[in-house]
Chain A
Amino acid sequence: MEKSLTTAAPRATVRGRLSGLAASAALHKTLRTLATIGVILAIWELVARLFFPSYILPPPTLVAAAFGKIVADGTLPHHLQISLGRAVVGFLLAAVLAIPLGLLTAWWKVLDDTVGSALELLRPIPSLALIPLAIVWLGFGEVSKITLIAYACFFSIYVNTHAGVRNVDPLYIKVMRIYGNGTRDILTKVVLYSVLPYVFTGLRYSAAVALILLVAVELVGAQAGLGFYLTQTQAFFQVPEMFATITVFGLLGFLANLLILCLERRVIKWRQAVGAEF
Chain B
Amino acid sequence: MTLEGAQTTAPAEARGAAGQRPPAITIDDLGVVFEGGVTAIERLDLTVDDEEFLVVLGPSGCGKSTLLLVLAGLLKPTSGAVRIHGRVNPPPGKDRGFVFQQAGLLPWFDVLTNIELGLRAKGLSRQEARAISQPLARKFGLEGFEGKYPHQLSGGMQQRVGVARAFAIDPPILLMDEPFGALDAQTRVLLQEELIRLWEGSHKTVVFVTHSIDEAIFLADRIMVMQARPGRVLEVVDVPLPRPRSDQTRQQPEYLALQRRLWDMLRAEAERAFVE
Chain A interfacial positions (CB closer than 8 Å to B): 171-172, 174-181, 185, 189-190, 193-194, 268-272
Classify the secondary structure of B's interface with A. loop
Instruction: Assign chain B's interface to a size class.
Output: 20 to 34
Surface stretch bound by A, among B10-18, B36-44, B104-112, B128-136? B104-112
Highest count of chain A CB atoms <10 Å: which of B98, B100, B108, B150? B108
Of chain B, the residue at the smallest CB distance from A175 is B104
- Contacting residue for B149 out of A177, A180, A269, CB 8 A: A269
Provided the pairs A171-B102, A174-B74, A185-B121 are in contact, do residues A180 and B94 lie with their beta carbons within 8 angstroms?
Answer: yes
Asked if B108 and A181 sit within 8 Å, CB to CB, the answer is no
Asked if B100 and A180 sit within 8 Å, CB to CB, the answer is no
Asked if A190 and B104 sit within 8 Å, CB to CB, the answer is no
Q: Which residues of A contact B120 (CB under 8 A)?
A: 185
> Binary interface profile of B, 113-147, with partner A (CB < 8 Å = 1, else 0)?
00001101110000000000000000000000000
Least distance between A198 CB and chain B CB atoms (Å): 14
Q: Which residues of B contact A181 (CB under 8 A)?
A: 117, 121
> Binary interface profile of B, 77-99, with partner A (CB < 8 Å = 1, else 0)?
00000000000000011101010
3 nearest interchain CB pairs? A179-B118, A180-B121, A193-B108
Measured in the bound complex, the distance between the Cα atoms of B122 and A193 in whole Å is 22
Q: Which residues of B contact A189 (CB under 8 A)?
A: 106, 109
Measured in the bound complex, the distance between the Cα atoms of B153 and A272 in whole Å is 11
Chain B interfacial positions (CB closer than 8 Å to A): 72-74, 92-94, 96, 98, 100, 102, 104, 106-109, 117-118, 120-122, 149-151, 165, 169
Asked if B100 and A171 sit within 8 Å, CB to CB, the answer is yes
Asked if B122 and A270 sit within 8 Å, CB to CB, the answer is no
16 of the cross-chain contacts (CB-CB < 8 Å) are A172-B104, A174-B100, A175-B106, A177-B92, A178-B74, A178-B96, A179-B117, A179-B165, A179-B169, A180-B118, A181-B121, A185-B120, A194-B108, A268-B108, A270-B151, A271-B107
Classify the secondary structure of A's interface with B. helix
- Contacting residue for B106 out of A177, A190, A269, CB 8 A: A190
Measured in the bound complex, the distance between the Cα atoms of B122 and A194 in whole Å is 23
Q: Which residues of B contact A174 (CB under 8 A)?
A: 74, 100, 104
Q: Which residues of B contact A269 (CB under 8 A)?
A: 149
Measured in the bound complex, the distance between the Cα atoms of B104 and A231 in whole Å is 58
Measured in the bound complex, the distance between the Cα atoms of B92 and A180 in whole Å is 6
Asked if A193 and B106 sit within 8 Å, CB to CB, the answer is yes
Measured in the bound complex, the distance between the Cα atoms of B169 and A271 in whole Å is 28
Of chain A, the residue at the smallest CB distance from B104 is A175
Q: Which residues of B contact A180 (CB under 8 A)?
A: 92-94, 118, 121-122
Q: Which residues of A contact B121 (CB under 8 A)?
A: 179-181, 185
Asked if B151 and A272 sit within 8 Å, CB to CB, the answer is yes
Measured in the bound complex, the distance between the Cα atoms of B118 and A177 in whole Å is 10
Least distance between A98 CB and chain B CB atoms (Å): 22
Q: Which residues of B contact A172 (CB under 8 A)?
A: 104, 106
Asked if B108 and A270 sit within 8 Å, CB to CB, the answer is yes
Measured in the bound complex, the distance between the Cα atoms of B93 and A176 in whole Å is 11
Q: Which residues of B contact A171 (CB under 8 A)?
A: 100, 102, 104
Q: Which residues of B contact A176 (CB under 8 A)?
A: 117
Of chain B, the residue at the smallest CB distance from A196 is B108
Least distance between B230 CB and chain A CB atoms (Å): 24
Measured in the bound complex, the distance between the Cα atoms of B149 and A190 in whole Å is 15
Given contacts A179-B92, A185-B121, 16 further A-B contacts (CB under 8 A): A171-B102, A172-B106, A174-B104, A178-B73, A178-B74, A178-B92, A180-B94, A180-B121, A189-B106, A190-B106, A193-B107, A193-B108, A268-B108, A270-B107, A270-B109, A270-B151
Least distance between A245 CB and chain B CB atoms (Å): 42
Measured in the bound complex, the distance between the Cα atoms of B120 and A181 in whole Å is 9
Asked if B117 and A175 sit within 8 Å, CB to CB, the answer is yes
Measured in the bound complex, the distance between the Cα atoms of B110 and A269 in whole Å is 11
Least distance between B98 CB and chain A CB atoms (Å): 5
Least distance between A200 CB and chain B CB atoms (Å): 14
Least distance between A270 CB and chain B CB atoms (Å): 4
Of chain B, the residue at the smallest CB distance from A269 is B149
Measured in the bound complex, the distance between the Cα atoms of B109 and A194 in whole Å is 12
Measured in the bound complex, the distance between the Cα atoms of B267 and A51 in whole Å is 84
Measured in the bound complex, the distance between the Cα atoms of B121 and A194 in whole Å is 20
Q: Which residues of B contact A194 (CB under 8 A)?
A: 108
Provided the pairs A180-B118, A193-B108, A271-B107 are in contact, do residues A175 and B93 lie with their beta carbons within 8 angstroms?
Answer: no
Asked if B72 and A178 sit within 8 Å, CB to CB, the answer is yes
